[in-house]
Amino acid sequence: MRLYNFVSGKTRALNKPFSTFTPKGVAYTVSPSLSKTIVSKYVSLSKSLVSSERSWTIFWLEIQDAIRSVMGFDPYQDRLAANILSALLYDALLEHRYLSPDIICTLLKQRVCIAGGSAELRKQLNCIRNCSVVAVDGATKLLLEYGITPSIVVSDLDGSWFAVEKASKHAVVVVHGHGDNLFALKEIIPRLENVSGTVQVQPPPLTFNAGGFTDGDRAVSIVLFCKLFYGSMVKEIYLYGMNFHGLVGGWSKPWLKTDVKPWRQKAIKLKIANQIMALILKPLAELLDVKIVDGMKREYCADE
C-alpha cells in the first residue's frame, strides 16, 4: 500500500499494510515518517499512555518532534517559548492569576462542548448548552458575540486578542507557547485574569504538555488529560465547528473578512490534527469510556 504525502505531493510504500493497524476508513497521512510515528503510538496506546503524567509527556514529545521535522519548526524556538511562558506564568502566580491543571479540570462537567474554528460553528451555536464549553482560540469571538461564555479557552494567541482577554474574566485561558508566538506571549499573558499554559517540549515549571498539535485537537487532548490524571467526570465530548476539511470561519482570525478555504500551511496543519484525532484521541477516549460526538456529521445537541 502507498501513502500520500500532503507536503511533497508524492507517495511512498509502507512496509506493513495500513489497514492492519489503522481504524477503518483512516488512510491519510502528512508524511511517511510522521505517519509511522503516529501509527506506532496508536499501536502502543493502551500500553504506555495511561500509566503516569510523565509517560503521557514522553508519548507526545515523540509525536511533536516528528511534526517539527515535517513542518520545519525550530525546536530551540519552541524551548525558548516554553521558558518565556513559564516566567510569565510565575508572574501570574504571584498576582493570583495562574490556575494549575488540577483547578482547570474541575471546570469540566460530564458533558463538554468544544467549539472550533470552522465556518459551520455558526449553524451549531444553538446546540452549545447544558455543557462545559471549551473554546478553540478564534471561536471565542463568535461565542461571546452570541452570549456564550466558555469555561476554558485553548489558544496560541493567533485569534482575536480582545476576545481572549475579555473571556479571561470568566474563563481560564490555556495559552500554548511555541516558537511563532513569542511576542504574543509577552503582550497578552500579563493582561489575562485567569491563565494557564501548555508547551510542545519538555514542560518547564508551571506549564504542562497537554498533547495535540493545533488548538482544536489540543482542546480534546486537554479534556482527556483531565480525565486521565485529575479525576474529571467527563463522559461525553461534543465537537462543533471542528471540520478539518471545510472552510475556516471568517471570525476566527483578525485578518479574515469572510469564510475562506484553508491556506496551504493551515491545510497541512488540519490534516495532521485530523490524523491525531483519528489515531490517538478518539481511540484514547474509547479507552477511557468517553463518548466523542461529531457534530459535523449530524446536528447533535448536548442536551438530546
CATH 3.90.1480 fits 74-294, yes or no: yes
Beta-strand runs (E) in 149-275: 152-155, 172-177, 195-199, 236-240
Q: Which residues contact 1 (CB under 8 A, 6 or more apart)?
A: 13, 14, 17, 18, 19
pTM as predicted: 0.86
Give per-residue pLDDT as tens, 203-215. 999 999 999 999 9
Tell me: the pLDDT tens digits for 102-125? 999 999 999 999 999 999 999 999
pLDDT number for residue 22: 38
> b/e map of 20-44 (b: 16 or more CB within 10 Å)?
eebeeebeebbbbebbbbbbebbee
Q: Answer yes or no: is pLDDT of 44 > 90.
A: no
Classify the C-alpha dihedral 269-24-127-288 as positive or negative: negative
Residue ranges of domains in the chain: 74-294
**CA 117 – CA 141 distance, rounded (Å):** 10
pLDDT for the residue numbered 42: 60
- The whole-angstrom separation of Cα 41 and Cα 218 is 16
